[in-house]
């Protein structure tokens, strides 16, 4: 009886790809996984093919930290094209409605406060939101009627960067998880008495990762022989939670799935943290009652 061989090798860390326009997030993950010959890979937040920019890709044990990165803030630069509504709310879809109304810069600036803070937003019909187990965009492409429920989102900041001409406006948005920039453009246009779609979109920040961390796809190809030089450590995705140094005994307990006592006057009293022993990442833990309970154990 032949033994099944695991495909790929153990590679652990983050590759923060500057995703080019035209590539899907799934394709990007597959290309990075192949470049590293890695057993396991996943991304922290989908970018549409239209969009470019920050796509953090987790390899190996870093996949256990994806949720922390996805829950972090996101910053986008996007261009709104006034006067044309498309089926997909971006430039990929056909134009389904036109308007002669073009908002003034003053009108746009006056509207911005209404689109910051906690908002109720209906995701675009062409989105990855699931309806009865099916992706909304799959249902929409099949010609089915897609009715999505509004969801609560948070827009921390929305800035008008430029109005290069009457047809276009460029924005920066800092927002929380689940925000659709295409829906922001759609809803702003409606309030301004016109229609619009997103004609360009670039993601600048995801959680702890920003423009300084991004690796162009061309650089990934150029470093195909030694791609490890482009990797960020697994803990790079955990900068938003505390780090706790522990001794060997506590590390052994956590690795065995057992709780360990929390020591130190500066130790957190609750919430999540990650533990380090002798410079090595040990586990993600939940803290309660003076104990650390392992949530995910790292095998590094």
- CA angle centred on 36, ends 30 and 38, rounded to 5°: 75
Contacts of residue 53, Cβ cutoff 8 Å, sequence gap at least 6 = 18, 19, 47, 76, 201, 202, 203, 204, 214
* Lookup: tokens for 141: 């492409």
Is the distance from CB of 91 to CB of 198 less than 8 angstroms? yes
Catalytic-labelled residue, pool 48, 89, 90, 213: 48
Told to judge if 213 belongs to the known catalytic residues of this protein, a careful annotator would answer: no
CA of 199: how far to CAs of 52, 209, 242, in Å? Answer: 12, 24, 39
- CA angle centred on 216, ends 156 and 86, rounded to 5°: 55
Q: 237, 239, 191, 181: which is closest to 64 by C-alpha? A: 237
Beta-sheet pairing, 196-206 with 52-59: parallel
Q: What is the largest CA-CA distance in the chain?
A: 74
Active site residues: 48
């Amino acid at each position: 009886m032949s033994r099944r061989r695991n495909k790929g090798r153990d590679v652990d860390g983050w590759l923060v790809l500057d995703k080019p326009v035209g590539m899907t997030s799934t394709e990007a993950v597959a290309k990075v996984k192949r470049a590293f010959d890695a057993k396991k890979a996943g991304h922290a937040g989908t970018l549409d093919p239209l969009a470019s920019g920050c796509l953090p890709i987790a390899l190996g044990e870093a996949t256990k930290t994806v949720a922390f990165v996805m829950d972090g803030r996101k910053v986008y630069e996007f261009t709104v094209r006034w006067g044309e509504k498309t089926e997909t709310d971006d430039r990929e879809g056909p134009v389904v409605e036109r308007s002669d109304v073009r908002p003034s810069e003053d009108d746009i600036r006056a509207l911005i406060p209404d689109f910051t803070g906690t908002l109720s937003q209906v995701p675009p019909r062409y989105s990855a939101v699931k309806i009865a187990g099916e992706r909304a965009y799959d249902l929409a492409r099949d010609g089915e009627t897609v009715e999505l429920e509004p969801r609560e989102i948070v827009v921390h900041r929305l800035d008008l960067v430029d109005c290069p001409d009457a047809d276009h406006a460029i924005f920066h948005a800092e927002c929380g998880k689940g925000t659709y920039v295409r829906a922001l453009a759609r809803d702003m246009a409606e309030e301004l008495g016109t229609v619009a779609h997103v004609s360009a979109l670039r993601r600048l920040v995801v959680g702890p990762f920003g423009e300084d961390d991004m690796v162009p796809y061309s650089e990934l190809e150029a470093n195909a022989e030694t791609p490890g030089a482009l990797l960020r450590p697994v803990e790079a995705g955990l900068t938003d939670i505390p780090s706790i140094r522990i001794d060997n005994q506590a590390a052994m307990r956590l690795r065995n799935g057992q709780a360990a006592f929390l020591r130190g006057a500066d130790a957190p009293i609750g919430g999540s943290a990650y533990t380090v022993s002798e410079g090595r990442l040990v586990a993600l833990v939940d803290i309660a009652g003076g104990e650390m309970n392992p949530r995910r154990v790292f095998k590094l």
